Structure 1
Amino acid sequence: MSAPPVTPDGRYIVVRGRLWRRSNPALLADERQALVEDLMNARRAVRSALATNDAALLADARARVDAAKIGLGERGPVWWRDGAPDLNRHLAKNTSYAEWWAGLGRT
């Protein structure tokens, strides 16, 4: 499996034609690593809560996933400063990346 395409400005990856915001490249390596570890632990907690059907644990685990993703810059306020809108989850073909996306020969 190859890595998903990254938009020319480095803000998004494209998965099945949809834009997904990338982590903030300005994060220090140790800060990024700690947040990724938090995210993986929170995702394991989601899986565990789903297996035990525990609504309270599930809500807590999902909140931890969200907090880690916000810390990484994948959710919440955008990490870029040029005023460009957040196109997270938009179809690439319906955005300012449409020409770039079409040039990759993807649909």
Structure 2
Amino acid sequence: MPYKAAFFFNDPFNASYHATTQAELEQVLQFYQASRVVVGHSGVDQVTADYDGKVLKIDAKHGREKESSRTPGLLIEHGAEYRVNAQGEKTSIGTAVQANSSR
């Protein structure tokens, strides 16, 4: 743990911290030949899509409800993204749903 204290007071890499821009995200996706990315370990209030539907945030806070039917999840079905619950109810998220709606 001492290394964490060292970084708190003196960042030896002089890192610049900022929110990722849409352009930076597009570069990362292009490099990995991907159309979207799923992220966790950064708590969010609800399973959501961000950055024009290209970032799917799935680490929904659930506290004491972790094992309950209220804990949401992510379902990707036929290229469309949905927030789902234990009852199987799904709500569309992201922009892929719109792109696939003509199928």
User: Which interval holds the TM-score relative to the shorter structure?
Assistant: under 0.3
Larger RCO (CA within 8 A; separation ≥ 6)? 1
Q: Which has the higher strand share?
A: 2
State the TM-score, normalized to the length of structure 2. Answer: 0.26
State the TM-score, normalized to the length of structure 1. Answer: 0.26
Report which of the two structures shows the higher radius of gyration computed on alpha carbons: 2
